[in-house]
Structure 1
Amino acid sequence: MLALTSPIQTYAHRLPTGLKLALLCGFTIVLFALKSPVSLTLAAFTLAALIATAGPQFAHASLKMLRPLIPFILIVALWHVITQDPGGAPILLRMITAVAAANFVTMTTRLSDMIAVIEALARPLKPILPPKTLALAIALTIRFTPTLLIRADQIAEGWRARSPKRPGWRILLPSTLAALDDADRAAEALRARGGLG
């Protein structure tokens, strides 16, 4: 599994995790309240400027983290072109900006710090849901996401090496089986370490 925290140190790495998560929540709420493409573009440029203040290397790494969005951007754009619906631009701007903001927080925050904040926030839910269980589930989701994307890329490369046809939907089953296999191994590792303790 991979950690998403960037090795490129920035001023944002030193900010408290709780503050970053609170600002992310506030920014996302405002982002979804905005309706005009102009105000959404302004929000996107503001975030881009914030990311740029962390340096060119970090900005480049942050941009690369948006690559998994490309298929979704193409599907949404194509749908709105076919249906001649002008509402596609605000949807795309919201999606890209929200994911970029979440990436910025994730890349500048250690996973252990994020888990500690989630556990603290989840304490009132203790009678219904143990905070450690919730924190572990979120941590595994964050850590497994890039791993699954890399695994899907590897399977696609293997397909391209053996066939002139594009992989497309054909890699869906092997990717799913690989994800289940990874989940199985993670569960075994957790059991070997005594579970949640």
Structure 2
Amino acid sequence: MNTVALLDELRTLAENGLAHSTDPYDRERYRRVLDLVAAEYADLAGLPTAEVRERFAAELGHVTPKVGADAAVFDDDGALLLLRRTDTGRWCLPGGWVDPGESPAEAAVRETREETGLRVRPVELVDSYSLPAGPESGPHGQVSLVYRCAVEGGTLALSREGTELRYRQIPEVDDWFTIHREFATDAYRTWRRSTDAN
């Protein structure tokens, strides 16, 4: 278990303990665990401990993973639309976090429009994926849903989130962001099945 995952688990246990315990001594212990976790998070993130505690307090409910949604958009030759991320320089599918009040499919459509200029519609849910806590998936881990999408309009346009945007054949890409190679490979299987059926 990496440090971030350990801290996140300790934080979850302490916050759940505070939510359910009435014993004053146990509550004091849970608060102490939260203080230690906040101090370590602050050290890792380069933030003041008080700010980390404020962020903890502002988060409502049980600590859960982030939910992401990504779009697999293929051209007629089976090349996949990919974005080279500004922050890491690695290739990924268009996508991002699901906003409150929005479904993952809606998020995939929105993120694709924002990052590529294209209007798409989801055709098929490729799969769901779980990523452990870490620098690229956040302190609580991530659950991502990937949708194979069809282009309905728009004009291909690079956003500030990328340095390149183009259709690429999957085997040509060797510098993928996190597990986007797996996203791409699984999505390609669904695309291939759909083209073989037609």
Give your verdict on TM over 0.5: no
Q: Which has the higher strand share?
A: 2
Q: Which has the higher contact order (CA 8 A, sep 6+)?
A: 1
Please indicate the TM-score interval, normalised by the length of the shorter structure: under 0.3
Q: Which has the higher helix share?
A: 1
TM-score normalised by length of structure 2: 0.24
TM-score normalised by length of structure 1: 0.25
